[in-house]
Amino acid sequence: MEDWAEIRRLHRAEGMPIKAIARRLGISRNTVRSALASVGPPKYRRPAKGSAVDEFEPRIRALLAEFPDMPATVIAERVGWTRSITVFRERVTALRPLFAPTDPASRTTYAPGELAQCDLWFPPVDIPVGFGQVARPPVLTMLSGYSRRPGAVMIPTRQAEDLIAGHWDVLTGWGSVPRALVWDGEAALSTRKGGKVKLTDAFEAFRGMLGIKVIICKPGDPEAKGLVERFNGYLETSFLPGRSFTSPTDFNDQLSSWLSTKAIWRSHRTLGCRPVERFEADKAAMLPLPPVMPQLGWHTSTRLPRDHYVRIGSNDYSVDPVAIGRRVEVHADLTTVTIHWGDRVVGAHDRHWGQHQTIHDPAHLAAAARMRRRSQRDPGPGRDEVQVRALGDYDRLLGLDEGVA
């Protein structure tokens, strides 16, 4: 290789004739002529040697012609091969395509803005949720098909109200909406009856506000959401190890930071680039966020009972007792619970992610105590004490007083 390179340098750069080059390097002139005529560097090629499999090849071909899928071990047994199976298997592997029909695998590609795959990931870690309780809430994960841009947020439950609020949280982070969302048969979002899929009313309304399509995968089709399921595995192996969390808010803060500083900057082997490098084209083809914000979370209307508490999930939240007997509107999202009486806010709490707890506002308890004391001092109309008659009145009525004989 060194002689070849030096021959070409002396001839092309120094302008030396073939005879001078041969004399200087101590080689023949024919060697110099061959080096100058070659189109590439010289390569050493070992002379081909025969293999012990060569004499069995005609019988291997005959078997493959009749049975293209016959395993190499069975072919070895049929032809009487008794030596290493490795060499034999390599020859069968090289010959099989000559007889087996070609079956190329299809490669799935996505257009910019086309869709995002969605799933629920259940991280195997206990999250403190208050009142001495721990839980393992689900994490809604989404992955854009074109750019592989990820989004994820931990939500309190897998009920439709929390799932829809989680969708909105991720989509507002992206600043745009894919034209389709791909889901499996999540019970809170869809039902399947007689082979026909029907979205729940809440998710149908959310889809209509966004103006998108929802694709529900068929049962037993794990490859339909392969992108997001692999991302779930990436979360479990790259985000979770070595971390601890003090609350769901802390989990979401750490997850959001990791997604923006790590996940979108890692290079994808299939794409050959990073998600952040493709997201601008992806976002340009997506739909804009709707001008009117969809109705998110839990919404209910109820008449406030005398104990002045309302229930969201399995937890009770206190309300200002001034609204007792009035109809109040209750709204809960991923983080807060708010109660309105008309235009007046009569309750505001952080949402509790545990179960079977009673959440008090000290101001509500103090107001209820004042109202009870006032009620005891002033019973109000219709609650006066019963009049006590004098015993002499009964004697006169019965004719038993001293004036009667």
Which residues lie closer than 8 Å to 330 by C-beta, 6 or more apart?
A: 298, 299, 300, 301, 302, 310, 312, 337, 338, 339
Q: 């034999």: which residue's tokens?
A: 88
Please give the structure tokens belonging to residue 353: 């992610």
Which residues lie closer than 8 Å to 292 by C-beta, 6 or more apart?
A: 209
Residue-level pLDDT at 205:
92
Q: Evaluate the CA torsion angle 24, 28, 30, 31 in order and state its sign.
A: negative
**Nearest-angstrom CA–CA distance, 405 and 400:** 9
Inter-residue contact 18 to 36 (CB < 8 Å): yes
Give φ, ψ of 268 to 5 degrees.
Answer: -90, 130
Give φ, ψ of 337 to 5 degrees.
Answer: -125, 125
**Nearest-angstrom CA–CA distance, 134 and 65:** 64
**Nearest-angstrom CA–CA distance, 74 and 68:** 12
Q: Evaluate the CA torsion angle 343, 346, 351, 354 in order and state its sign.
A: negative
Residue-level pLDDT at 144:
95
Strand partners, 192: 197
Please give the structure tokens belonging to residue 396: 């006169």
**Nearest-angstrom CA–CA distance, 320 and 361:** 9
Q: How far is the CA of 368 from the CAs of 344, 357, 371, 372, 399, in angstroms?
A: 18, 20, 5, 6, 53
**Nearest-angstrom CA–CA distance, 290 and 276:** 24
Q: Which spans in 67-101 are helix H?
A: 72-79, 85-95
**Nearest-angstrom CA–CA distance, 402 and 185:** 93
**Nearest-angstrom CA–CA distance, 72 and 94:** 11
Sheet of 298-303, strand order = 298-303, 327-332, 336-341, 344-350
**Nearest-angstrom CA–CA distance, 346 and 328:** 9
Which residues lie closer than 8 Å to 136 by C-beta, 6 or more apart?
A: 122, 123, 124, 125, 126, 127
**DSSP one-letter code for 222:** G
Map residue 55 onto helix, strand or coil.
Answer: helix
pLDDT tens-place values along the chain, 405 residues long: 788 888 888 888 888 889 988 888 888 889 888 888 887 787 777 776 778 899 999 999 999 999 999 999 999 999 999 998 999 999 999 999 888 877 666 567 899 999 999 999 999 999 999 888 999 999 999 999 999 999 999 999 999 999 999 999 999 999 999 999 999 989 999 998 888 999 999 999 999 999 999 999 888 766 678 899 999 999 999 999 999 999 999 999 999 999 999 999 999 888 889 999 999 999 999 999 998 888 888 899 999 999 999 999 889 999 999 999 999 999 999 999 999 999 999 999 999 998 999 999 999 999 999 998 888 776 655 555 556 667 777 677 777 765 544
**Nearest-angstrom CA–CA distance, 9 and 16:** 9
Which residues lie closer than 8 Å to 172 by C-beta, 6 or more apart?
A: 289
Give φ, ψ of 64 to 5 degrees.
Answer: -65, -35
Residue-level pLDDT at 380:
57
Residue-level pLDDT at 405:
45
Q: How far apart are the first and last CA of the chain?
A: 154
Please give the structure tokens belonging to residue 259: 């997604």
